[in-house]
Amino acid sequence: MKKLFIVGNWKSNKTIAEAKTWLLEISNFQFPISDKREIIICPPFLLIPEMKTFIDEYKLPLKLGVQNISPFGEGAYTGEVSARTAQEFVTHALVGHSERRHYFHETDEDVLAKIKQLLRYDLTPVLCISDMKQLAFYLKEDDVITANAGKIIFVYEPPDAISGGGAFHAIDLDTIDANTAEISKMIGKEVVTLYGGSVNPENAALIFGLEHVSGGLPGQASLDAETFAQIIHG
Ligand code: PGA
């Protein structure tokens, strides 16, 4: 049985009270943990310290990630959270999400700089890839991804497939399998690749069953604890 990684992307949702309710609810579902399932939640920054305290106190089998990280180190960069600060609370960080590229004009260069910052502080980049052209550009620009491929979780996430909080979109399993396989091929070795975009309890098992897919990045479906628990069961 392959190891699965389920990364919940909460985006800009929830208050601390709602986050705690979610944690209480999720702790009531028996989910298969062990070394075969890694569950990572990426909440808004401000929720993270209290969520970490709660997770530690109740020994919940959950890890935390940030949704964004500064491309710079520590210093005079108003409004940014550095990898050095984040590593006190989280183990993972989303990078290159298409919403950050679209709404906040993140460039390929920003994405590469963020990956370097994360690796410097032993944080695992969860690198979202919209299409193979984008990955080809990253690989041509810099060897940081190839050189550290074993420390990175890759996510094939076509922007058109993202629910955006609305209805889930139909998914094409053949395209998902082909593109996740292609990511390893382009990098030159087998890497951990997840799929993101409208992952929900109805399609999770089908997606996770694909040969080259090692889990998923649900957004909308991670907000409700019961729905998320169903995805974890796969
Ligand atoms: P979705 O979002 O599951 O709501 O489609 C996924 C994502 O954007 O990471």
Look up the pTM and report it.
Answer: 0.97
Length of the chain: 234
Within-domain flag for 22: yes
CA distances (Å), origin 70, targets 75, 170, 230: 11, 34, 33
Write the pLDDT tens digit of every residue in 167-213.
999 999 999 999 999 999 999 999 999 999 999 999 999 999 999 99
Ligand 1 close to Cβ of residue 197 (< 6 A)? yes
**pLDDT at position 165, please?**
86
Write the pLDDT tens digit of every residue in 116-172.
999 999 999 999 999 999 999 999 999 999 999 999 999 999 999 999 989 999 999
Q: Does 11 have pLDDT greater than 90?
A: yes
Within-domain flag for 206: yes
Catalytic status, residue 38? no
Q: Give the ranges where the chain is alpha helix by DSSP (H).
A: 16-28, 48-57, 83-86, 98-104, 108-120, 132-141, 144-147, 173-187, 204-208, 225-233
**Ligand 1 atom closest to the CA of 222, numbered from 1:** 3
Q: Does 20 have pLDDT greater than 90?
A: yes
Ligand 1 close to Cβ of residue 220 (< 6 A)? yes
Ligand 1 close to Cβ of residue 42 (< 6 A)? no
Q: Does 32 have pLDDT greater than 80?
A: no
Structural domain range at position 116: 9-233
Q: Does 234 have pLDDT greater than 80?
A: no
Q: Which of 97, 99, 106, 212 is catalytic?
A: 97
Catalytic status, residue 202? no
Q: Provide the 8-state DSSP code for 35.
A: G
Give the helix/strand (H/E) hosting 234. none
**pLDDT at position 9, please?**
98
Within-domain flag for 214: yes
Ligand 1 close to Cβ of residue 155 (< 6 A)? no
The Cα 83–Cα 149 span in angstroms is 19
Cα–ligand 1 centroid distance for 117 (angstroms)? 24
The Cα 10–Cα 181 span in angstroms is 27
Within-domain flag for 26: yes
Q: How many folded domains does the chain comprise? A: 1
Within-domain flag for 80: yes
Question: For ligand 1, atom 7, which residue shows the shortest CA distance?
Answer: 219
The Cα 57–Cα 53 span in angstroms is 6
pLDDT > 90 fraction of the chain, expressed in percent and rounded: 92
Within-domain flag for 151: yes
Within-domain flag for 39: yes
Within-domain flag for 3: no
The Cα 143–Cα 193 span in angstroms is 18
The Cα 162–Cα 155 span in angstroms is 13
Question: For ligand 1, atom 2, which residue shows the shortest CA distance?
Answer: 219
CATH number at residue 13: 3.20.20.70
